[in-house]
Amino acid sequence: MLTSLPIQITAPQPRIEHQDKLLLLGSCFTEHIGKRLAEAKFSVLENPNGILFNPLSVVKSISSYIQNQAIAASDLFSLNEIWNHWDFHTRFSDFDKQIAVERMNASIGAAHQYLQKADWLIVTLGSAFQYFLHENEQAVANCHRAPGQWFEKRLLSIALIQEALKEMIEELKAFNPDLKIIFTISPVRHIRDGVVENNRSKARLIEAVHEMTTLHDHCFYFPAYELVIDVLRDYRYYDIDLVHPNFAATNAVWEQFFLHYLSEEAQTIATKMQELSTAKNHKVRFPETNAYTKFRQNFLQKIAQYQQAYPYIDFEAERRAFLEDSL
187-237 pLDDT per residue, tens: 998 888 899 999 999 999 999 999 999 999 999 999 999 999 999 888 888
Amino acid at 256: Q
**Residue 283 pLDDT:** 78
Lateral strand order in the sheet of 43-46: 43-46, 21-26, 120-125, 180-185, 219-221
* Average pLDDT along the chain: 93
Q: Which of 99-103, 204-208, 280-284 has the lowest mean pLDDT?
A: 280-284
**Residue 1 pLDDT:** 47
Cα–Cα dist 55/127, whole Å: 8
Q: Which of 75-84, 136-145, 171-180, 233-242 has the lowest mean pLDDT?
A: 233-242
110, pLDDT greater than 80:
yes
Give Rg (Cα) of the chain: 21
| 81 within 8 A of 93, measured Cβ to Cβ | no
Arithmetic mean of pLDDT, 314-321: 89
Cβ burial, residue 183 (10 Å; 0-12/13-18/19+):
buried
pTM: 0.93
SS3 assignment for the chain: CCCCCCCCCCCCCCCECCCCEEEEEECHHHHHHHHHHHHCCCEEEECCCCCCCCHHHHHHHHHHHHHCCCCCHHHCEEECCEEECCCCCHHHCECCHHHHHHHHHHHHHHHHHHHHHCCEEEEEECCCEEEEECCCCCEECCCCCCCHHHEEEEECCHHHHHHHHHHHHHHHHHHCCCCEEEEEECCCCCHHHCHHHHHHHHHHHHHHHHHHHHHCCCEEECCHHHHHHHHHCCHHHECCCCCCECHHHHHHHHHHHHHHHECHHHHHHHHHHHHHHHHHCCCCCCCCCHHHHHHHHHHHHHHHHHHHHCCCCCCHHHHHHHHHCCC
4, pLDDT greater than 80:
no
Arithmetic mean of pLDDT, 80-93: 96
